[in-house]
Amino acid sequence: MQKAILFDLDGTLTDSGEGIINSVIPALEHYGIAIPSREELRVFVGPPLHDTFLRFGVPADQLENATKIYRSRYIPIGKFENAPYPGIPELLETLKAQGHKLFVATSKPEPMAVEILEHFDLARYFDRICGASMDTSRSSKEAVIAYLLEQNGSAENMVMVGDTKYDVIGAKAHGIPTIGVSWGYGEIDEMLEAGAAAIAQTTQELLELLQKESL
Residue length, the chain? Answer: 215
Q: Which of 8, 10, 15, 167 is catalytic?
A: 8
Give Cβ neighbours of residue 14 (< 8 Å, ≥ 6 apart). Answer: 82, 83, 84, 85, 88, 116, 120
Residue 104 · residue 130 · CB < 8 Å: yes
Q: Are strands 158-162 and 178-181 parallel, antiparallel or unpaired?
A: parallel
In the three-class reduction of DSSP (H, G, I as helix; E, B as strand; rest coil), residue 33 is classed as coil
How many beta carbons lie within 10 A of that of residue 145, not counting itself? 25
Burial class (CB in 10 A: 0-12, 13-18, 19+), 103: buried
Q: Is 51 in the active site? A: no
Cα–Cα–Cα angle for 163, 118, 65, rounded to 5 degrees: 65
Which residues are known to be catalytic?
A: 8
